[in-house]
Structure 1
Amino acid sequence: MNVLPVGEHALLVELPTGDAALALHAELLRRRAAGTLPQVTDIVPAARTVLLDGVGAPGPLAADLARWDIPPLAPDTHATAEIPVRYDGPDLAEVAARWGVPEEEVGRIHAGTEFRVAFCGFAPGFGYLTGLPERYAVPRRATPRTSVPAGSVALAGSYTGVYPRSSPGGWQLIGTTDAVLFDPAREPAALLTPGTRVRFVRECGS
């Protein structure tokens, strides 16, 4: 664990793995809910970092963090979000070729994987999902699309993501869902939040 000051009131904690970042994020949320971190206003996880804002003078908390015993992330910490998907994306054939499998196998492999939201970013409601083995990692498209439809299920590297709204994007599109990823009128607004487990459910015929 490496703790770095960010400005006068924030800390950036660097972790060795994504799972370690998720575990620290969960522990920080637990301690804040218990009232032991009342000064922390924002806790933002990323791929292998966690940002804490509103810590006041960073020195004391930075020293304390280095001594914390962080419990591993419990497998049942979060509920599982099920997302129905049609594996009909325009990049399905390319992904199948990279994986060395028939096109119909892409959906079977993807839907047979349990994912977890590592962090969120890019757009409101967009979660970066981990879980696919590294052998299924695929590169981003050499030329990004100017418009990706909302609900597109996509791959980039070893991450899976679902576009919550139409936007430019360079991920490989393998499917489509009608699930609403972000709704400001809903509580919480985002369907996918850090730590949430995710299972994609194949719709008939895909």
Structure 2
Amino acid sequence: MSIPTDQITGLLLAGGRGMRMGGVDKGLQVLRGDPLALHVLKRLAPQTGALLISANRNAPRYAKLGAPFNATVIADTLPDFPGPLAGLLAGLRAARTGYMLSAPCDTPALPVDLAARLADALDAEHADIATVTTSNAQHEISIHPVFALIRTTLADDLAAFLDAGERKVRAWYARHKTVEVAFADERAFYNVNSLQELADLERN
């Protein structure tokens, strides 16, 4: 990997409202005996140095989940759940490394080579951000913007973007040199959006 692991802070995004799950805390919903967030932590931790958990609710429970990984729980500095960019900003502010790798709490099968592939692409392209695309059998491209490797020097720019009332992740990425990395396995980025989808995943 072109960027040393200890130069990458991992960020688990668990700060959303879980509206499509009826308002429950998505990362704490159980899959095969463990909370979704724990599945993600187990895959994310070996790919990064320090680890952060962005959570706006149930911080003690997330702290307990993160304890084996020496993860620190952080919260958004902006009120009213303004979206994933607020979590990214909190992570960029808290990180003490040159790079931050983000992943949402509801993707239990994320690739074990996520950091390596994004780091190689970011370094090769001299980019500021590297993010993920996949394609299905019909060759339709999907973008997964909250899986991203970001230079932490972008924190001030993101803060200004949010202060201006902007909330769209891809609109912020468009302000910077962003490289998209194609992953073949679309299932690795499957995210659980409803309790029914969680039940279906449990059965499969």
Query: Would you call these one fold, judging by a TM-score over 0.5?
Result: no
TM-score, normalised to structure 2's length? 0.27
Structure with the bigger percentage of strand: 1
Q: TM-score, normalised by structure 1?
A: 0.27
Which has more radius of gyration?
1
